Amino acid sequence: MQEKLRYYVAFNGGLKLMQGRSGPMNTVAEFFAGQTVDHLTGCRERPGVVFAAVAHNGGYRTQDGGRTWEKVVEGDVRTFTVDPHDERVVYAGLGPVRLLRSEDCGSAWEPLDGLLRVSDQVKSKWSVPERYRGIQFPHVRCIFIHPDDSRLLFVLLEHGGVLISKDRGETWEDVSSGISYLDMHSLNNYPGSQDRYYVSSARGFFRSDDSGSHWRRVETGMPWAYTELYSYSHDWQFLPGNPPRMMLSGAKGSPGVWSREKRDPEGYILLSDDAGESWRRAAGGLPQRMPWMPWALVPHPHDPNTVFAAMGDGSRGFGFNPKERGNGALYVTRDRGDSWEPVIPEMPAILTAWVAAE
Q: At 1, is the pLDDT very low, low, confident or very high (cuts 50, 70, 90)?
A: very low
**For the chain, which domains are there?**
35-293+330-342 (2.130.10.10)
Per residue, the 3-state secondary structure of the chain, as one string, reads: CCCCEEEEEEEECEEEEEEECCCCCEEEEEECCCCEEEEEEECCCCCCCEEEEECCCEEEEECCCCCCCEEEECCEEEEEEECCCCCCCEEEEEECCEEEEECCCCCCCEECHHHHHCCHHHHCCCCCCHHHECCECCEEEEEEECCCCCCCEEEEEECCEEEEECCCCCCCEECCCCCCCCEEEEEEECCCCCCCEEEEECCEEEEECCCCCCCEECCCCCCCCCCCCCEEEEEEEEECCCCCEEEEEEEECCHHHHHHHCCCCCEEEEEECCCCCCCEECCECCCCCECCEEEEEEECCCCCCCEEEEEECCCCCCCCCCCCCCCEEEEEECCCCCECEEEEEEECCEEEEEEEEC
Q: At 316, is the pLDDT very low, low, confident or very high (cuts 50, 70, 90)?
A: low
The predicted pLDDT at position 133 comes to 80
The predicted pLDDT at position 25 comes to 83
pTM across the whole model: 0.95
Q: What is the pLDDT of residues 28-85, one digit of tens each?
A: 999 999 898 999 999 999 999 999 999 999 999 999 999 999 999 999 999 999 999 9
User: Average pLDDT in the 288-313 region?
Assistant: 95
Rounded distance between C-alpha atoms, residue 245 and residue 71, angstroms = 37
The predicted pLDDT at position 259 comes to 86
The predicted pLDDT at position 23 comes to 60
The predicted pLDDT at position 128 comes to 86
Rounded distance between C-alpha atoms, residue 113 and residue 126, angstroms = 16
First-to-last CA distance in the chain?
A: 14
